[in-house]
Structure 1
Amino acid sequence: MANILVINSGSSSLKFALFDTEGPVDSGSGSSVHVLVKGQFSGLGTDRYDVSMTRHKPGISTVSPGSAPDHHTAVASLLVWLERHGLLDDIVAVGHRVVHGGRHFQQSTPLDARSVKLLEALTSLAPLHQPYSLAPIKALQTRLPDMRQIACFDTAFHAKQPKEARQFALPYPMYDRGFQRYGFHGLSYDFISRCLPEVIPDFDRDAKVIVAHLGNGASLCAIQSRQSVASTMGFTALEGLPMGTRSGAIDAGLVLHLITEEGMTPDDVSTLLYKESGLLGLSGISSDMRTLLCSDKPRAKQAIAHYCYRIAREIGSLCAAMGGVDHLVFTAGIGEHAAPVRERVVAQCDWLGMRLDASANQANQACISASDSQIGVWVIPTDEERVIAADCAAMLR
């Protein structure tokens, strides 16, 4: 057996999945990795931590790894559980989702002390993500120092965008120093791009596709020929669409004003933009779209309206970047499950000839566009862990 353990670590969660690499090629993903075990530690760093399991391999007991209060304990509990079930010795590598690869890492990369140090230096560019991506890496370096670890980057999928899409209008030498648009959610977009030929009948590989990754973090990506053409996120995972607690795009002059005129410190502004804005800030109620959709309060309704407006507006921008669009794909938590959000976005894209099949949308079907729609509209669940496993397996061959 040659198994790969995948860890996808967030600020308060740690998703894990164990993949077998010796099975037949999967037609949907184009890879030969097959999930054996999948689960998630949630509520890390809070007093409501827990663990849930989705099991795929027969014979594994129903007792899941013990719940853990933090990332290091979660990793330790997971290793003990894997060893107890005789699965640890078959692991040949651990693949990690790392949000920001900066300009040094443009493809999946084996990890060593030097690479981890370079990734630590990017923490200020992804403060809600990078420390938590690195936490299980460091824990495994301590507990299993000989284990091969591989980082797979959310920024890598966008690395081949045209230079004009990556540049800021700053003095050119700053671009060479790394001040550029990186884009994020690349592992999710990579998975969707691999699935398109299997999901969409008679799919043209040169089709112009916009993918809407809508979750607590949210972004859009224009994809053609399986390449990222443009994306809404930039230098950090703060830019672009409003998100659960992040502001999305904001006038840089407003940030300067908050510091020079309102007396806010850089830390104050960081807290405001990363943790107190977005759906939470607009609504004053919650960062969770499910809660807002159930609310009858005016600010909740206005937060949803602004969110959908920004998505529709950015779809127009990405259409300009590609010179049109053939398909719109919704994915991630909100994209896969919030039918009212999809309905509102598509309605605001009516000018593109985009039409929705209301019943298909309510049922979260794969194809939700009406028969007379000029644009295909789809719902495709994402699977970042599978992409990580496939990339790691390719490196091990």
Structure 2
Amino acid sequence: MKILVLNAGSSSQKSCLYELTEPLPNDPPAPLWEAQIDWTAQAGKALLKIKANGKKIEQTIDSSDQATDTLQLLKTLSEGDTKVIQHSNEVDVVGHRIVHGGQSYRQSVRIDQTVKDTIADLARFAPLHNPANLQGIEAIEQSLGNVPQVAVFDTAFHSTLSAAASLYPIPYEWYEKGVQRYGFHGISHQYCANRAAQLLEQDLHSLKLITCHLGNGCSSAAIRNGQSIDTTMGFTPLEGLMMGSRSGSIDPGVVLYLMREDHYSIDEVEKLLNKQSGLLGVSGVSSDLRQVVNAETERSTLAIETYIHRLRSNIGAMIASLEGLDAIVFTAGVGENSAMIRSRTCEAFRWLGLELDEGKNQASPVDQNIAALSSKVQILVIHTEEDWAIAQECWKLAR
């Protein structure tokens, strides 16, 4: 079975094609074809990167609209040096990462017009993401016709949150209108939980896990019995941890102050909190942790200390929700690559019997347990595989 995965965002898109046979492998397989579009490199241009048949191709194209660029990208599946299929009808199913499923979707679903309409309606909750996700669906309809398509929702994994964990302490009428804590990065958190159980050779339902997805966007989740019971992101991906350019949680009074005293507009506040805060806002250097670390200024040091303080605090909250801890997982760009962040974070939890093997930590581990042999809590570094998780969901529904 050939499964195409589209992970569409507002500024970039990642795609890959898997060929799967039964039984599915335990380890993520290498895709037949991988591709990426980056719309941030140059105004009016799109950077295409394609990898297939042992070749890597990069080209910059004129970009009139993202849908047209996606169609051009999909052509490389069956044309040129990156050709891996003879005809588009060889693709059996297409899976899409959909950021927001709202209260409507608690699991992956086959896409029909009703699903498309709901995704469009939920764009009011995720205006930067759901429209781009929908555009990807429509691009597949144009290029591959009536191939079955599957929506895999980033919020679905967190639909198991209790009412107490998902409710905001505001008038209940708002909850009835859909204002609640949804959580995000669910595909990554779910994948890492399953992968952690594999690596530890234990039943997932017996484990109490904290998964830390630390990239440009950051969130942690408390997972018990294989289900999310708490997470740091909420109504939007802005809540929770300090991130690359997002503030994470702040006193809502700050927003009221900015609008009342400095006459900020809604759009200005939104841009400030999403694109000018976090590591970038505090350091004044970059949203990239590596550049902040290398800057070695007073403000860059403060940014790192604040990042670690908030990460530790939120992990502590997750431990309280779990009432125990078997393993902590670090994943995504920062989580997988920053030995310093892992080390500094783990220092705060030695009282739990958590002991890091610093040699393993410094060795650029991937899908490894970096806890000391004497540690009472395991520490895992896992390379998140969202595309593979989406492909697995497609396989289940197709079968």
Regarding TM over 0.5, the answer is yes
Relative distance call for 1:146 and 1:357 in structure 2 (3 A) is same
Q: Which amino acid aligns with 1:8?
A: N
In the alignment, which residue of structure 2 is the partner of 1:62?
55
In the alignment, which residue of structure 1 is the partner of 2:23?
24
In the alignment, which residue of structure 2 is the partner of 1:51?
48
Q: Which amino acid aligns with 1:271?
A: K
CA distance in 2, matches of 1:92, 1:44: 32
CA distance in 1, matches of 2:176, 2:30: 40
In the alignment, which residue of structure 2 is the partner of 1:80?
75
Relative distance call for 1:167 and 1:289 in structure 2 (3 A) is same
Shift of 1:23: 4.1
* Identity %, equivalent residues: 38
Shift of 1:63: 6.0
CA distance in 2, matches of 1:128, 1:294: 31
In the alignment, which residue of structure 2 is the partner of 1:379?
381
Deviates more, 1:226-235 or 1:195-204: 195-204
CA deviation map 1:222-247 (0-9, x unaligned) = 01111001000111111000111111
Shift of 1:325: 1.2
Q: Indicate if the aligned counterparts of 1:51 and 1:65 stay in contact, CA closer than 8 A.
A: yes
Question: What SS class does the counterpart of residue 205 from structure 1 fall into?
Answer: helix
Give runs of aligned pairs for residues 226-237 of structure 1, distance below 5 A: 226-237=226-237
Shift of 1:66: 4.7
In the alignment, which residue of structure 1 is the partner of 2:3?
4
Q: Indicate if the aligned counterparts of 2:33 and 2:77 stay in contact, CA closer than 8 A.
A: no
Q: Indicate if the aligned counterparts of 2:245 and 2:279 stay in contact, CA closer than 8 A.
A: yes
Q: Indicate if the aligned counterparts of 1:284 and 1:299 stay in contact, CA closer than 8 A.
A: yes
In the alignment, which residue of structure 1 is the partner of 2:31?
35
Q: Which amino acid aligns with 2:209?
A: V
CA deviation map 1:333-355 (0-9, x unaligned) = 11000111111111122333322
CA RMSD of aligned residues (A): 2.1
CA distance in 2, matches of 1:285, 1:114: 45
Q: Which amino acid aligns with 2:397?
A: M
In the alignment, which residue of structure 1 is the partner of 2:354?
354
Relative distance call for 1:45 and 1:106 in structure 2 (3 A) is farther
In the alignment, which residue of structure 1 is the partner of 2:174?
174
Shift of 1:203: 5.6
Shift of 1:292: 1.2
Question: What SS class does the counterpart of residue 151 from structure 2 fall into?
Answer: strand
Shift of 1:206: 1.6
Deviates more, 1:243-252 or 1:19-28: 19-28
Q: Indicate if the aligned counterparts of 1:64 and 1:81 stay in contact, CA closer than 8 A.
A: no
Q: Indicate if the aligned counterparts of 2:96 and 2:151 stay in contact, CA closer than 8 A.
A: yes
Deviates more, 1:77-86 or 1:100-109: 77-86
CA distance in 1, matches of 2:38, 2:147: 25
In the alignment, which residue of structure 1 is the partner of 2:363?
363
CA distance in 1, matches of 2:139, 2:27: 33
Q: Indicate if the aligned counterparts of 1:5 and 1:93 stay in contact, CA closer than 8 A.
A: yes
Relative distance call for 1:359 and 1:43 in structure 2 (3 A) is farther
Relative distance call for 1:202 and 1:156 in structure 2 (3 A) is closer
CA distance in 2, matches of 1:96, 1:204: 25
CA distance in 2, matches of 1:325, 1:298: 35
Q: Which amino acid aligns with 2:11?
A: S
Question: What SS class does the counterpart of residue 354 from structure 2 fall into?
Answer: coil
Question: What SS class does the counterpart of residue 371 from structure 1 fall into?
Answer: coil
CA deviation map 1:310-360 (0-9, x unaligned) = 010001101111112111100011100011111111112233332211111
In the alignment, which residue of structure 1 is the partner of 2:290?
290
Give runs of aligned pairs for residues 278-317 of structure 1, distance below 5 A: 278-317=278-317
Task: State the TM-score, normalized to the length of structure 2.
Answer: 0.91
Q: Indicate if the aligned counterparts of 2:331 and 2:381 stay in contact, CA closer than 8 A.
A: yes
Relative distance call for 1:24 and 1:87 in structure 2 (3 A) is farther
The answer on 1:265 being equivalent to 2:265 is: yes
CA deviation map 1:155-187 (0-9, x unaligned) = 000111211111111222332321111000000
CA distance in 2, matches of 1:19, 1:79: 14
Q: Which amino acid aligns with 2:390?
A: I
Relative distance call for 1:127 and 1:341 in structure 2 (3 A) is farther
Relative distance call for 1:229 and 1:49 in structure 2 (3 A) is same
Question: What SS class does the counterpart of residue 369 from structure 1 fall into?
Answer: coil
CA distance in 2, matches of 1:351, 1:49: 50
CA distance in 2, matches of 1:134, 1:156: 17
In the alignment, which residue of structure 1 is the partner of 2:223?
223
CA distance in 2, matches of 1:138, 1:44: 22
Q: Indicate if the aligned counterparts of 1:67 and 1:74 stay in contact, CA closer than 8 A.
A: no
Q: Indicate if the aligned counterparts of 1:65 and 1:78 stay in contact, CA closer than 8 A.
A: no
Q: 1:393 aligns with which of 382, 388, 395?
A: 395
Q: Indicate if the aligned counterparts of 1:11 and 1:44 stay in contact, CA closer than 8 A.
A: no
CA deviation map 1:103-155 (0-9, x unaligned) = 11221122233322322232342334333222222322334442322211100
Q: Indicate if the aligned counterparts of 1:28 and 1:194 stay in contact, CA closer than 8 A.
A: no
CA distance in 1, matches of 2:321, 2:56: 50
Question: What SS class does the counterpart of residue 220 from structure 2 fall into?
Answer: strand
Structure 1: state its 5+ residue gaps: none
CA distance in 1, matches of 2:60, 2:106: 35
In the alignment, which residue of structure 1 is the partner of 2:184?
184
Q: Which amino acid aligns with 2:269?
A: V
Deviates more, 1:143-152 or 1:341-350: 143-152
CA distance in 2, matches of 1:324, 1:197: 16
CA distance in 1, matches of 2:60, 2:5: 18
Shift of 1:45: 6.7
Give runs of aligned pairs for residues 119-268 of structure 1, distance below 5 A: 119-202=119-202, 205-268=205-268
Structure 2: state its 5+ residue gaps: none
